Amino acid sequence: MKRTLTLCAALGAVTLACVLAWAQNDPPPCQSPTINSGPASQTPCPGGNASFTVGASGTAPLSYQWRTNGVNLTNSTHISGATTATLTITNVTTSDVANYSVVVTNSCPGSVTSSDATLTILDTDGDGLPDCLDAEPTVYDHSAPTFTITAPSEGSVF
């Protein structure tokens, strides 16, 4: 950008205005992107949704590319936001279980990659069903049953 220096003969407020006008012609410094927050790991139920969000800063505009296990994602029938700050996976299946990260870039030199966020479907009891699909436990009353036997009236068969 071409800079122009205006000489100001007066002192005081007029001189300050001239210097500020000159400084405003300087382009802002180019700041490579940095990640400020996220993404966080998710544990949805199969058929549920998972969203990963990253907070980033740097010289605008920022560009985003979400990855799974290091491979770039594209939008599909159940993945949206592959090139935005928020990645959403709908109708999660076990094939979506993976590590997710995002690469943030801009026009400045350098890029930044987030730490991995893990999508997990938990099966802590090892029964082959995700925890969120395990049936509510059945509560059994293990106390001894009680019976009442009444003697038949005279002449009745018991």
State the amino acid at position 34 in one-letter form. Answer: T
* 79 shares its domain with 111: yes
| Strand partners for 35 | 56
Q: Are residues 102 and 68 in the same domain?
A: yes
Q: If pLDDT is split at 50, 70 and 90, which confidence band does 158 have?
A: low
Domain of residue 48 covers 31-125
Residues 6 or more apart whose CB falls under 8 angstroms from that of 94 comprise 46, 121
Query: What's the number of domains the chain is made of?
Result: 2
Higher pLDDT, 47 or 66: 66
Assign 7 a pLDDT band (cuts: 50, 70, 90): very low
- Kindly state whether residue 141 falls inside one of the protein's structural domains: no
pTM: 0.66
What local confidence, expressed as pLDDT, does residue 91 receive? 95
Measured between alpha carbons, how far is 73 from 76 in angstroms, rounded to an integer?
9
Specify whether 38 is located in the same domain as 93.
Answer: yes
Tell whether 4 and 61 lie within a shared domain: no
- What integer best gives the mean pLDDT of the chain? 81
Whether 20 shows a pLDDT value over 60: the answer reads: no
Q: Are residues 24 and 37 in the same domain?
A: no
Claim to verify: residue 43 and residue 14 sit in the same structural domain: no
| Same structural domain, 37 and 59 | yes
Largest Cα separation within the chain, whole Å, is: 133
| pLDDT classification of 132: cutoffs 50, 70, 90 | confident
Residue 48: both structure tokens together: 């549920």
Rounded mean pLDDT, 124-149: 66
